[in-house]
Amino acid sequence: MIGANGAGKSTLLSLVTGLVPPSTGTVTVSGRAAALLDLGSGFHPDLTGRENIILNASLLGFSRKQAHDLYDSIVDFSELDDFIKEPLRTYSNGMMLRLAFSVAVNLDPEILIIDEVLAVGDQKFQAKCTEKIFEIRNQGKTILCVSHVSPTLRELCDRALWLDHGQLVMDGPIRDVIEAYEGRLTRQA
Ligand SMILES: Nc1ncnc2c1ncn2[C@@H]1O[C@H](COP(=O)(O)OP(=O)(O)O)[C@@H](O)[C@H]1O
Ligand SMILES: [Mg+2]
């Protein structure tokens, strides 16, 4: 999804994730979704990284044993070993992202939903996230993301939705939508 600030991109992701119900109409989601929306959403600030991981896995219905197996792969991916026993309120934005992204991708979602949060990661972690997202895509899973137009987005997505003031302006192949969107921006400038 692309569009200016306030276009309704995050609202649409919240609807798909089920965080908010639509006031009219229906949303149909086929598959288990993991979402990365606001940094820290779904986590408790007073619990440690470790406790938050186990809590998240349990809430998603994983058994104690499964949660502990997942725990190791989540911490490995996040590279947060030194901080995993500290409460989340002491984490920087980049560290929160590391935790949230690692949890979301390691819970093996069929649909991965990502809002504009990756930008707070350092360059090395961003590259690692991008690689992981492509891996998930290549497994045939669905990725629904909001992003600023970038070369990565063109490669990652087949289809784009352009939103403006809560309305759908265009739905089509990503190249066409980006071209139209950038054309509009240029004419406005
Ligand atoms: N909880 C809410 N209640 C009412 N209006 C909201 C709420 N959240 C966002 N909005 C409004 O909805 C519009 C779209 O917001 P949002 O989906 O966050 O935009 P985007 O993610 O595209 O920048 C904005 O005008 C915003 O002020
Ligand atoms: Mg937003």
Which ligand 1 atom sits closest to the C-alpha of 14?
17
Q: Mean pLDDT across the stretch 9-26?
A: 93
Q: Which two tokens stand for residue 85?
A: 């026993």
User: Which pLDDT does position 122 carry in this prediction?
Assistant: 93
- Containing domain of residue 70, as a range? 9-188
Residue 165 domain-assigned (yes or no): yes
pLDDT band with cut points at 50, 70 and 90 for residue 120: confident
Residue 1 domain-assigned (yes or no): no
User: Which pLDDT does position 123 carry in this prediction?
Assistant: 93
Residue 108 domain-assigned (yes or no): yes
Give the number of whichever ligand sits closest to the CA of residue 115: 2
Residue 3 domain-assigned (yes or no): no
Residue 160 domain-assigned (yes or no): yes
Residue 2 domain-assigned (yes or no): no
pLDDT tops 80 at residue 169: yes
Residue 107 domain-assigned (yes or no): yes
Residue 83 domain-assigned (yes or no): yes
78 with 102: CB under 8 angstroms? yes
144 with 112: CB under 8 angstroms? yes
pLDDT tops 90 at residue 117: no
**What distance in angstroms lies between residue 7's CA and the mean position of ligand 1's atoms?**
7
Return d(Cα 142, Cα 169) in angstroms, integer.
22
Q: Enumerate long-range contacts of 148-154, CB under 8 Å, 24 or more apart.
A: 148/2, 148/116, 149/2, 149/178, 149/181, 149/182, 153/2, 153/178, 154/178
88 with 47: CB under 8 angstroms? yes
Q: Mean pLDDT across the stretch 152-172?
A: 93
Give the number of whichever ligand sits closest to the CA of residue 164: 1
**What distance in angstroms lies between residue 34's CA and the mean position of ligand 1's atoms?**
21
User: Which pLDDT does position 118 carry in this prediction?
Assistant: 84
CATH number of the domain that 150 lies in?
A: 3.40.50.300
How many structural domains are present in the chain?
Answer: 1
